[in-house]
Chains A and B, each alone.
Chain A
């Protein structure tokens, strides 16, 4: 496991801000994510989630504030960050014209795994996903649920300290979503910190803690049960509605 060198939390964000001209996309957000935690990052479209993730993954420089991911600074150590994180987008990022095995080997390769490690990991992965029969099948012709699980496995192939999942379950049926969350728990149990965005509020209940972004700031942060108690409601969905539409 590639963990940060010291006892730092997996993610530490302090007053992180990003402005585009006169528009403030992310407004002084602060939070910490502990190692091995499953952290839900919620918010309506346009609330600033994507901008925040881009800063944490080293794709976008912050305007002000501090953030450390896996123990590395987002201003100066983006290269180290990229080696220690995994990333899965809602579009799965697999190459449809390559086979299951070729995709695994490619991602293993660009993360600098040794040939031997790639061979071991791909066998493990393929067996674990029950894709043995389909290992030489083009990704284009395997079912969506399998693609999703494969994309997740590939995102953690190098045992990152933190894996960012950007709406990983959109368009997938409820049963597959459940199975997918089991994979997330398994990864977290291995010590991988999971940072996940979703717009399925039932999924928010699966997280250890959730934060809800509104208009570029973090409006609520806590365990699902804390938040429900705080707002006196029965589901995270209701918390979300309260925060996103305060007038209602």
Chain B
């Protein structure tokens, strides 16, 4: 390539980054995994954790139809979750419908339902859900419960007037967390993977193969080596984050209520924390293998298990809750959920942001120091 000016030069830092990009692009297998794995996780977790069940087939048992029961049935049928497949005069045929798999839920109204309701007497509704899939059954029951609450409120009756045979203990089960709550955690995990794990591996590879020696006796300064290593992975990480967000929105309509710029800014901050950790781990280990293990145990595991991504922090024992305070992902997930799902601004997230800034500063200083220790 000829240039008009013979002084045009890339400079050491750019040359270094070009090399890093070449490394990344050359290793197609790793790159494919890095991009496809998070997308696959969105799909898998999205479908597996899916709790907003659609098209629930309802059989209504209505022994004494009147104005009130009709209103209730209309209300039930009007929501797009429910489809009334049958209205029966008594419960005897309900069993058959379940067995033939023609109904998912049976809603049995007490005899003289309308009359009792009008008189203010207890008007019973019994709910029979197909519990062969316990989670699904509970979820469907919860939906019916919501319709009944709604109906009761509309009828002006007190909630106590309606007796429902429901077991709603499962309502707070964390597995009922939907894909909406999962996507912010996944973003944290992707960033950890690309920045901490990949940076640690790539830096320790230079160490192991002896190329780091050549870099250190070259005019490249230590900070240039770190920045040159880190920037390409930063770009890769943020690209994958955007892909995950796009996939979550396109496939599951995961809402995005806040500012994308704010989320990306916070993601950048969290990426820096992870990158600093990766550099620190690579500087402290002597081989690729130990760097990889270090990154897995030191970043991936705590970020997945102690961040509230999978297990709610509120249900952890007190001492473990204290431990979560030093897990960077814990803070980032609060931020990501806040921005994405609640649309909150930076004013409400400054504590979390400040913690991440503090972590970044401490870890970056430690990383550059331990990298520079060779000069001691």
Contact = CB atoms under 8 A, between A and B. Distances in A.
A82 B219 contact: yes
Contacts of B209: 91, 96
B22 A98 contact: yes
Interface string B175-217: 0000000000000000000000000000000000111011111
> Most chain-A Cβ atoms within 10 A of its Cβ — which of B6, B8, B213?
B213
B18 interface: yes
B9 A113 contact: yes
A20 to B, nearest CB: 10
A82 B23 contact: no
B10 interface: yes
B6 A114 contact: yes
Interface in B21-46: 22-23, 26-27
B217 A106 contact: no
Given A98-B22, A119-B2, A93 B12 contact: no
B19 interface: yes
Interface residues of A, number: 37
Interface string B206-245: 0001110111111110000000000000000000000000
Contacts of A90: 210
A98 B23 contact: yes
> Most chain-B Cβ atoms within 10 A of its Cβ — which of A92, A96, A115?
A115
B3 A95 contact: no
Interface residues of B, number: 32
Contact of B6 (A92, A98, A116): A116
Contact of A60 (B2, B23, B375): B375
A192 B2 CA distance: 28
> Most chain-B Cβ atoms within 10 A of its Cβ — which of A59, A93, A117?
A93
A107 B18 CA distance: 11
B16 A112 contact: no
B19 A106 contact: yes
Nearest to B7: A114
B14 to A, nearest CB: 7
Contacts of A116: 2-3, 6, 8
B91 to A, nearest CB: 71
Contacts of A94: 211
B318 interface: no
A89 B15 contact: no
A59 B217 contact: yes
A61 interface: yes
A59 B214 CA distance: 11
Interface string A100-119: 00100111111111111101
B217 A95 contact: no
B3 A115 contact: yes
A88 B211 CA distance: 10
B374 interface: yes
Contacts, number: 97
B212 to A, nearest CB: 9
A58 interface: yes
Contacts of B14: 109
Nearest to B206: A95
Contact of A115 (B10, B16, B213): B10
Contact of B219 (A95, A98, A112, A117): A112
B2 A87 contact: no
Contacts of A92: 210
B26 A98 contact: yes
B231 to A, nearest CB: 15
A62 to B, nearest CB: 12
B160 interface: no
Contact of A106 (B3, B11, B18, B27): B18
B10 to A, nearest CB: 5
Contacts of B347: none
A228 interface: no
Contact of B9 (A88, A89, A93, A112): A112
A98 B19 contact: yes
B12 A112 contact: yes
A102 B210 contact: no
A233 B211 CA distance: 40
A23 B334 CA distance: 53
A90 B211 CA distance: 11
Nearest to A103: B19
Contact of B26 (A89, A97, A164): A97
30 contacts: A59-B216, A59-B217, A79-B219, A82-B217, A83-B219, A87-B214, A90-B210, A91-B210, A92-B210, A93-B211, A93-B213, A93-B214, A96-B209, A97-B27, A98-B26, A106-B16, A107-B218, A109-B10, A109-B11, A109-B14, A110-B16, A110-B215, A111-B218, A111-B219, A112-B11, A114-B7, A115-B8, A115-B10, A116-B6, A164-B217
Given A82-B219, A105-B15, A112-B9, 10 more contacts: A89-B210, A89-B213, A97-B26, A98-B22, A109-B11, A109-B15, A110-B15, A110-B215, A111-B218, A112-B11
Interface of A: 57-61, 79, 82-83, 85, 87-98, 102, 105-117, 119, 164
Nearest first, the 9 A-B pairs at minimum CB distance are: A109-B15, A91-B210, A93-B214, A110-B12, A114-B9, A87-B217, A57-B217, A106-B19, A83-B219
